Structure 1
C-alpha cells in the first residue's frame, strides 16, 4: 500500500485512538487502526483496563492459546510483527476491575461522562511529551464528550470516528431540529407524524428513530452523553464513518456541506477473516464442526450482540419459536443477555429438546459463523457491525431491534435496502413478540412453506447490497477513494498546524 509522506523533514503522523468501551465499537476501531497503520501512520491504540482484561481473559481461555499469555498482553503484537507501527496502551475508566458495569449501567455511564476524560488527559499529556514520532492526531469515538477539549489542549488534529450508519449520525447531529419541531421533547409527548425536515433524509417515522430519541425521559446519563457528544463533534476537523457512499448518498452529501465527512466502510479485517488482533470480550466457541454437519443454507444464526439486554419473556418466546420452526440454529446467548445476576433464562428442558438441531454458545467469532455456507439467515438485534457483516456474506436478516441505533438500522435493513424482515410487524412499544410469530417469520426467512417470494427476493436484494460494499473497497471504489482523500486532507491539515505553531 502507498505510504503517507508529509515531506522529507517531518516525522510521520502519530494518531492516538480511543474506541468507546463496548465490543461493537472496539472491533471497527481496531480494523481502522490497522488500515491507517498500513498507510504508514503510527498508531497508539488505547483500551480501558476493563476491556483489556476481558479480552485477555477470553483470549487465554481459547483452546490452543498460550496459557502463559498474561494480563500485560499486547493485542497488537501480531500486527507489529507484520511491520505495522501500532503501539498499545491501557487506561482506567474510573472504576475498579471487579465493578459490574452491565449491572450498574447508569453509574458506569456517569463515570464515562464525568471521570474518564481526566484519565485521557493524563495519558495524552504524558505521550505528547515523550512519544517518537510526536503525537499529532486524536482519533476518538464520536460518542465521547471530551475530544475537542483534549485536541485543543494538546494541539492535535481532532478526528471523530462514527461506527454506525450516516443516517443515525445525522439524526443525532440535527437534534436541535427534532426538539424545535416537537419530535424529541422532555416536557411533553413526542409528535408522532412523519419527520421530513432533516437535511439529506427524505422522510422517517418517529418509531424508526433511535430509542433514546423516542423516549420522553431525557435525564438519563445516556441522554446527557449524546447531547454533549453531538455538540462536541461539530468541532471535529474530520469525521470518518463506517458506511458506504452509494448506500447512503443523500445523507452523506448533506453532512459534507457541514463538515469534512468521509464514508470509508465497511471496515473489516483484511480478507474478511478472523482478525489477528484479539478483540472479543468473551471466550469464542468454535462452531465449525457442528455447522459442517448441516446442509447448505439450512441453519439460522441467532445473536443479539454484545450490549443490549432482552427480557426473560422475550428470550423464552424466541426459544419456543425456534422449537416450533423446526429449523436448525446456532444461538449466541451472552451470559448477561437478561442480567448478569440472572443466568438461568431458557425454558426448563429446552436444551434437551434441541439436541442435534440447535447449538447454544455464550459467544463465537461471528464472521466465521455467518460466512459458513450452511448459514441461511440471521435473527439479529440489527447492530451495525452485524448488518454490514451479513450483507458481505449474503445472509438475509430477521430484525428484532432492542436498543439505541438498532431501530433506525432496522429501517435501513427492512424498508430501504429490503434485505430483511421484521420479526414483529408493529414496532410500537408494548407489542410483544410471540412464539407463533417467531416460527412463522423464521419459515419465511429460511424458505419454508410460508415463505412465498420473500426468500428469493431477499437474496436478490442482498446480492445487490453486497455488490455495493465490494465495489466501494476496490481501488477505484468510493470508500478507498474517500480514505485516500482523507489521508491527503490530513496531510495538509498537519502542514497547516505546523506553520501555525
Structure 2
C-alpha cells in the first residue's frame, strides 16, 4: 500500500490486459471508471507492450493512471491475423517473464493485479507473490460460463478439445441454445488455441475476484449461477465502455458533421470488426446493395475505406475509423449491422440501437444468439454460403433485409426498437448511483483497499 502526500493510503492496482484492442479498450475503460470514483485514493499502473504504447500512449487519461511497458516479445499487432494461434501461444509463453521483471522494478508495492483471463499467467504470478488478483473477462458472462462448463467436463472425462466429438451433448450446465453457439466456436477455432482458452478459464478459478464487463441485469441468471459456483466475489462492473468520454462533446470529425445533417433514426451504421472482417468482394456487395436501396449509411471499412469511397452513393459515407460509441449514441442512427463482438454489443445496448447480427468467429456466434433470442433487440442475417475465409451474402438478399430492418414504421421494426430502448434504460440505471454496476465497483474497491495491505 502506497501513501498520498497527506499520509493517507493509496491503493495500487496493476492492470495487465491481453495485447489486443478488444481487450485493452475495456480494461482501460474500467480503469478510468475506477479512477474517476476514487481519484485521490488509487494509483493504476496499466501495462502494455512498447508497440501498444505507440498506439495509445498519447491518448488522454486520468492522472491516477500511468502506463508501464514490457518489451515487444510477441509478434506485431500487424502480423497476428496471419497466425493467430501462434500469436496466442506467444502471449501465453513469452510475456510472463518481462511482466515479473516489471513487478520487481516498481517503486510502489502492488496491492492487486487485474489480469485478463486470456493471459492465463497473471493469476499464477500473483499467487506466487501473495498479491491479490482479479481475473478480468472481456466477453459475455454467458460465454465464460459455457467455457467453464466445457473445461470441467473435459477434465472430468480426461478429454482434449480434439477428442470431444459428440460427447458434448452430455455437458451439464449449458442450455441447448448456448450449446449450439459453443459448438460453432469449437468447430471454427484451432484446437490448440481452444485448449489454451480452457487453460485460461481454469486458471481464473484460482483468482480472488472475477470481474465481468457485462451488466448484472443483462445476464442475471448466468451471473447468479457463477456466483454459486465460485467461493470468491463475482462482480459484473459493465458496461466497460468509454461512456465517461461522451461528456466531451466533440463535433470536429467530418462523420459527426455528416450525421448531424441526417434525419433522426435514418442511418444504418455498419462495422464488421477490426480483427477478422469480410472479404473485399463482400464489402463491394454490401456497398452496392446499400446504394440500390437509397438507405443512408455510415460504413467503417478499415483499410478498404479509400477504395470504397469511390463506390459510395450520395447517401453513404465510408470511413476507416470512428468513435463508435459517439456514433451509436447519435440521434440519426437507426440501426447497427454488427459482427457482434462483445464490446460493440455492449456499446449498442448502451446506446439503445437495434442490431443486425452478422457473426464471423469465436464468441460472436453466441453473442448473436443472445441478441436475437434472449434480449430480442436484433435480427440475425442468415448467410447463403460460408467458406474458411469469407461469408457470402448477395446484394439482392442484402437489399431486402436492410429495407425491412430500417423500416421504422413496421410492427417488427417498432418491437426491436422498443426493446432496444428498454435495454438502454436498464444499462444506464446500472451505472447510475445505486445501480448494480455502480455498487459492484464500490464493493471491489473496498475489498482491495481493505485486503491489499
TM-score by length of 1: 0.79
Are positions 1:174 and 2:149 aligned together?
yes
Q: Which moved more, 1:91-100 or 1:484-493?
A: 91-100
The question of whether the paired residues in 1 share the 8 Å contact of 2:291 and 2:316 is answered with: no
What SS does the corresponding residue of 1:79 show, helix, strand or coil? coil
Matched residues in 2 for 1:371 and 1:216: separation?
Answer: 33
Residues 462-486 of structure 1 show CA distances to partners (whole Å, capped at 9, x for unaligned) of: 1111121112112221111222222
State the alpha-carbon separation in 1 of the partners of residues 213 and 189 from structure 2. 29
* CA distance in 1 between partners of 2:290 and 2:317 (Å): 12
Pick from 322, 343, 364 the counterpart of residue 406 of structure 1.
364
Q: Distance in 2 between matches of 1:158 and 1:225?
A: 20
The equivalent residue for 1:326 is 294
Asked if the contact 2:160–2:195 (Cα under 8 Å) also holds between the matched residues in 1, the reply is no
- Asked if 2 retains the 8 angstrom alpha-carbon contact of 1:125 and 1:154, the reply is no
CA distance in 1, matches of 2:310, 2:78: 35
Deviates more, 1:29-38 or 1:295-304: 29-38
Give the Å deviation of 1:105: 2.8
Q: Is 1:273 aligned to 2:246, yes or no? A: yes
Does residue 387 (structure 1) correspond to residue 345 (structure 2)? The answer is yes
Instruction: From the superposition, tell whether residues 461 and 177 of structure 1 become closer, same or farther in structure 2 (CA, over 3 Å).
Output: same
Aligned to 1:454: 412
Question: Residue 32 of structure 1 aligns with which residue?
Answer: 30
Q: Is the 8 A contact 1:381 1:406 kept in 2?
A: yes
| 1:39-118 equivalent positions in 2, closer than 5 A | 39=38, 40-55=41-56, 73=58, 75=59, 78-80=61-63, 85-95=64-74, 100-118=79-97
Change (3 A) 1:224 1:354: same
1:434 Cα offset (Å): 2.4
Aligned positions of 1:226-245 closer than 5 A: 226-245=197-216
Cross-structure match for 1:69: none
Indicate yes or no: 2:225 matched with 1:246: no
Cα deviation, 1:133-189, whole Å, max 9, x if unaligned, reads x21111111111201221023321011111221101111112235546899841364
Residues 341-369 of structure 1, C-alpha deviation per residue, up to 9 Å, x if partnerless? xx6996xxx64442321111111111121
* Contact persistence 2:296–2:315 (CA under 8 A): yes
Change (3 A) 1:203 1:272: farther
C-alpha distance in 2 between matches for 1:9 and 1:97: 43
Q: Go from structure 1 to structure 2 and tell me whether the alpha carbon gap of 1:46 and 1:98 turns closer, same or farther (over 3 Å shift).
A: closer
Whole-Å separation in 1 of the counterparts to 2:165 and 2:385:
18
Q: Is residue 2:347 matched to residue 1:364?
A: no
Secondary structure in structure 1 of the residue aligned to 2:191: coil
- Whether contact under 8 Å (2:136, 2:210) holds in the other structure is yes
Partners of 1:183 and 1:380 lie apart in 2 by 35
Q: Which residue of 2 aligns with 1:137?
A: 112
Corresponding residue to 1:440 among 395, 400, 404: 400
**Which structure carries more helix by proportion?**
2
**3-state DSSP class of the match of 1:135?**
coil
Find the aligned partners of 2:75 and 2:162 in 1 and give their Cα distance.
34
Q: Cα distance 1:5–1:480, how it changes in 2: closer, same or farther (>3 A)?
A: farther
- Whether the aligned pair in 1 keeps the contact of 2:371 and 2:377 (CA below 8 Å) is yes
Distance change (3 Å), C-alpha of 1:191 and 1:315: farther
> What per-residue deviation string (whole Å, max 9, x for no partner) do you get for residues 307-355 of structure 1?
22323343333233323332111110122xxxxxxx6996xxx644423
1:305 Cα offset (Å) = 2.0
Contact 2:287 2:311 (8 Å CA) reproduced: no
Structure 1 residue matching 2:302: 3-state secondary structure: coil
CA apart distance, 1:286: 3.9
Q: Note the alpha carbon deviations across 1:388-417, whole angstroms, 9 max, x for none.
A: 111222211100011111111101111100
Kindly state the Cα deviation for residue 240 of structure 1 after the two structures are TM-superposed. 0.9
User: Equivalent residue for 1:122?
Assistant: 101
- CA–CA separation in structure 2 for the residues paired with 1:415 and 1:183: 31
Indicate the residue corresponding to 1:187 in structure 2: 163
Cα offset, 1:28, TM superposition: 1.4
Gaps of 5+ in 2: none
CA distance in 1, matches of 2:180, 2:384: 10
Matched residue count: 441
Contact 1:196 1:203 in 2 (8 A): no
Structure 2 equivalent of residue 218 of structure 1: 191
8 Å CA contact 1:382, 1:401 repeated in 2 = yes
Where structure 1 has 5 or more consecutive residues not aligned to the other structure, the ranges are: 57-72, 277-283, 336-342
- Taking the aligned partners of 1:328 and 1:344, their CA distance within structure 2 comes to 17
How far apart in 2 are the matches of 1:313 and 1:178?
41
Shift of 1:210: 7.0
| Cα distance in 1 between the residues matched to 2:14 and 2:240 | 18
Q: Deviations over 1:89-127 (max 9, x none)?
A: 122241476963333434322211211111111111211
TM-score (norm. length: structure 2): 0.87
Per mean C-alpha deviation after superposition, the further-off stretch among 477-486 and 419-428 is 419-428
